[in-house]
Amino acid sequence: MDLTDRQRKLLFAGLVVLLAAAGVFLTIGGGTGEHARATHGNTPSATASASSATSVPPVTGPPPSSGSYDIYSLLPFTQKDFTAAANVARSFIAAYGTYRFDEDPKTYVGRLQGMVTSDLASQLEQDSSAAGVLAQRQQDKEVSTSDAQLDSLRDMGKDQLIFLVTEKQHITKGGNTSDASRQYAVTVIRSGGGWVVFAFAPADVGDK
């Protein structure tokens, strides 16, 4: 079942509270003994009076677990799913920014097809084949190579994840070289037994 926006926010908040509570418990647990010994050594009579005046009921039930939590058991996807989707988002942005002025647009899009939906592949082929784009790249003898890094997860659902990915592009153009960096919001959806890119856009105008 897909999570609503409210449920996703509550899940994130719950995870934060859970981790914070665990941290507080461990902190208090580690310091309580020292504090009690210091108090007992400095004011024995006051401590004895407080003990006799206050009756604390015994704690029942099993002691709290000190083991680690499996965060993925609380999420609508597995760790394997998350890793696969993240790799697709990063690999797509790296491939998207890698091209040559003398390369056939079909060859360029062919490198992307296994990572994108058929509709997005068609759109990318149309964009890369635009006469103005090709003419300018050929005139400048433009060559671009790109790498990409995964920054964060923007949103999630059972069958959809939106990642923020930064492209690092090295461009040779008109005899000059330059570096560029841009962050994209990449929407990855479940397709068959894997994940593909459904849409992408600059992070400041993309899916939020």
* Predicted local confidence at residue 59, as pLDDT: 52
* Domain covering 79-202 in this structure, CATH number: 3.10.450.540
* Predicted local confidence at residue 158, as pLDDT: 83
Q: What is the pLDDT of residues 78-127, one digit of tens each?
A: 889 999 999 999 999 999 999 999 999 999 999 999 999 999 999 999 99
15 token code pair = 């995870």
Domain range summary for the chain, segments of one domain joined by +: 5-57, 79-202
Task: Report whether pLDDT(25) > 80.
Answer: no
**7 pLDDT band (50/70/90 cuts)?**
low
203 vs 23: which has the higher pLDDT? 203
CA atoms within 13 A on the CB side of 153: 13
- Strands 176-191, 99-100: pairing is unpaired
* Predicted local confidence at residue 41, as pLDDT: 46
Instruction: Give the helix/strand (H/E) hosting 160.
Output: strand 160-173
CB neighbour class for 52 (10 Å; exposed up to 12, middle 13-18, buried from 19): exposed
Strands in 194-202's sheet, in edge-to-edge order, are 99-100, 143-156, 160-173, 176-191, 194-202
2 token code pair = 């897909």
* Predicted local confidence at residue 34, as pLDDT: 41
H-helix segments, 43-167: 44-53, 79-96, 105-112, 118-128, 131-140
What is the C-alpha to C-alpha distance for residues 99 and 65, in angstroms, rounded to an integer?
A: 53
Question: Would you say 144 and 170 are in contact if contact means Cβ atoms under 8 Å apart?
Answer: yes
Q: What is the pLDDT of residues 116-167, one digit of tens each?
A: 999 999 999 999 999 999 999 999 999 999 999 999 999 988 899 999 999 9
Q: Is the pTM of this model over 0.85?
A: no
DSSP state of 74: G
Per the document, the length of the chain is 208
Closest CA to 163 of 200, 190, 192, 129: 200
14 vs 181: which has the higher pLDDT? 181
Mean of all residue pLDDT scores within the chain: 78
* Predicted local confidence at residue 18, as pLDDT: 46
Residue type, 105: P
Classify residue 175 as left (phi > 0), alpha (psi -120 to 50) or beta: left
* Predicted local confidence at residue 75, as pLDDT: 80
Which residues touch 171 (CB under 8 Å, ≥6 apart)? 142, 143, 144, 177, 178, 179, 180
